[in-house]
Amino acid sequence: MGAGKSTVGADVARRLGRPFLDVDAAIENAHGPIPELFEREGEPAFRELEASFVRAAVTGPQPAVIAVGGGAVETRQLLEGLDALVVLLDVDVDTAWQRSQGTARPLARDESEFRRRYDLRRPLYETVADARAGDADDVVLAAAGIRFGSHRDVRGEALVADEHVARLHGIDASLLVPAGEAVKTVAEAERVWRALELERGSTLVAVGGGSTTDLAGFVAATYMRGVGWIPVPSTLVGQVDAAIGGKTGIDLPEAKNLVGAFHWPAETVLDLALLDTLPEEERTNGLAEVVKAGLLAGEPLWELPQEQLVRRCAAFKAAICLRDPVDRGDRAQLNLGHTFAHALEAASGYALPHGRAVALGLVAACRVSGLEDEARLVQELLRPERAPVDREAAWSALARDKKSVARRPRLVLLDAPGKPRVGAEVDDAVVRSALDALIA
């Protein structure tokens, strides 16, 4: 009681695009006010109704977010063995009592009894919970299998690591791979495939930047038709974007990420300590994805301290990916600026850093959207220099972008910050002019 289940649950359901079911509200709609039900039939009768509602909600045809009271844990093992992620919304007893006292809740009339039940339920909650949360962001991260922790605590049958990161952090890896986008090749994927000796139930761990996790995830998706994998991103771009959502892939000379698979990780571990050795250039690269997330969310996420910044950006992307896991709808908004960025990267032979390319792409997307103030903001925050690439090569790569239709690009634009527009058709001359303005 008083943990905020109804408020947080409704927010999580909205973010994930799922129905929200509040068990107490459902019982009241069907049987009248709960205090009257307690008075009329007693707590055991209420628990019977609660049990039937929980079972019906969890076994329904559509995934939902369900708020269920602690009594369901205290009186019955309702949440054990269910095909559901159980999240304990954590609250201290003083806060819970402050919120609950003076309400109509039948079990919040006596403070000593309230505290006794809290103490009784606490260990039961912790036993049944798959994750603990303090707010909606925590619930979304848990639903996406994302947690904060140390890379040294992650276990798997094989470990692929960026050779530079492994050296900096003393990581003993099964296989080292080069740093950067150049690792995302067919030849490098084949080298990793052939070096692995895994069984179908094995797990591959990947420590490194977004390129390392892209490659390792693709290898995991295709090795023996799929083994488990755990990304441990070591860069800001990896922790706020690249390692989240199950997209994996490698590049071809013609365009970026043309070969890949959706392969959701067993979990994603965010170790903030890995960012301590990040060069300033790489931090700026990651900040480009933070600015993108902020523009999409309509919030200045780039102003947050590092831990909050990573957490908020990761939760923002995770929610979008959970409601559109294979990129058939809302997830396309995450390509804001990336159509231009990928074209520049391909035209540079992938020598152009991803973050710099994204920063340029965001400037172009804002300009095409008619948002000159936002374009100037991106310039001020990221200060990207124009890319020294061949214009025709960049235009050809843009036409081959995965989101193009009949070789005509479909852009993600902004009607305003926080209001993305997906699949926008824009005149070729406008797109070409915006791309040319990014090239030195």
Residue 63 CB neighbour total at 10 angstroms:
15
Stretch 426-435: mean pLDDT, rounded?
Answer: 94
Domains of the chain: 5-135 (3.40.50.300), 148-278 (3.40.50.1970), 330-436 (1.20.1090.10)
State the pLDDT confidence band at 237, using cuts at 50, 70 and 90: very high
User: In this structure, what token pair is assigned to residue 32?
Assistant: 């009248």
Instruction: Return the percent helix, strand and coil in the chain, to nearest 5.
Output: 55, 15, 30
User: In this structure, what token pair is assigned to residue 42?
Assistant: 């007693």
pLDDT over 70, % of the chain: 97
C-alpha distances in angstroms, 265 versus 69, 227, 332?
Answer: 31, 10, 20
Residue 193 host element (H or E): helix 186-195
- pLDDT tens string 291-321: 999 999 999 999 999 999 999 999 999 999 9
Stretch 375-391: mean pLDDT, rounded?
Answer: 97
pLDDT over 90, % of the chain: 73
pLDDT of the residue at 286: 95
DSSP, collapsed to helix, strand or coil, labels residue 382 as helix
Residue 223 has pLDDT above 70, yes or no: yes
Residue 342 has pLDDT above 80, yes or no: yes
Distance, CA of 44 to CA of 53 (rounded, Å): 14
User: Residue 353: which residues within 8 A CB-CB, separation 6 or more?
Assistant: 281, 285
Computed over every residue of the chain, the mean pLDDT equals 92
Residue 62 has pLDDT above 60, yes or no: yes
Residue 276 has pLDDT above 90, yes or no: yes
pLDDT of the residue at 74: 63
Residue 66 has pLDDT above 70, yes or no: yes
User: In this structure, what token pair is assigned to residue 91?
Assistant: 């609250």
Q: What length does the chain have? A: 440
Residue 401 has pLDDT above 80, yes or no: no
Report the predicted TM-score, pTM, of the whole model to 2 decimal places: 0.92
Residue 46 has pLDDT above 90, yes or no: no
Distance, CA of 175 to CA of 196 (rounded, Å): 9
Stretch 250-271: mean pLDDT, rounded?
Answer: 93
Distance, CA of 26 to CA of 67 (rounded, Å): 10
β-pairing, 146-148 with 268-270?
parallel
At 183, the amino acid letter reads V
The separation between the first and the last C-alpha atoms of the chain, rounded to the nearest angstrom, is 61
pLDDT of the residue at 60: 81
Residue 175 CB neighbour total at 10 angstroms:
18
Residue 317 near residue 244 (C-beta atoms within 8 A): yes
Residue 200 CB neighbour total at 10 angstroms:
10
